[in-house]
Amino acid sequence: MQPAARITGRLRQQIAADLKKKYEKGASIRSLARSTGRSYGFVHRILSEAGVQLRGRGGARRKTTRRRR
């Protein structure tokens, strides 16, 4: 897949199906973007168009600090 090339029609549907399968098996959007040479936004948009239920953000949550008086 060439970076910045417009992808439409049947090819877009094939790419969406492939990315959806990989995402649902546990791949992250960032890893899919890296492996396809496309942007995070492109992969996110393709997955959304394909009707994928996107996972929430991972990682540790920030602890809230209590203010001292």
Domain interval for residue 41: 9-49
Which pair of tokens denotes residue 33?
């973007």
pTM: 0.75
Confidence (pLDDT) at 41: 94
**Is 1 within a domain?**
no
pLDDT tens figures, 34-65:
999 999 999 999 999 999 999 987 766 667 66
| Whole-number pLDDT of residue 48 | 95
Place of tokens 């168009």: 49
pLDDT at 6: 79
- 54 assigned to some structural domain: no
Q: Read off the pLDDT band of 18 (50, 70, 90).
A: very high
The predicted pLDDT at position 66 comes to: 67
The SS3 assignment for 69 reads coil
Q: How many residues does the chain have?
A: 69
Residue 17 lies in a domain: yes
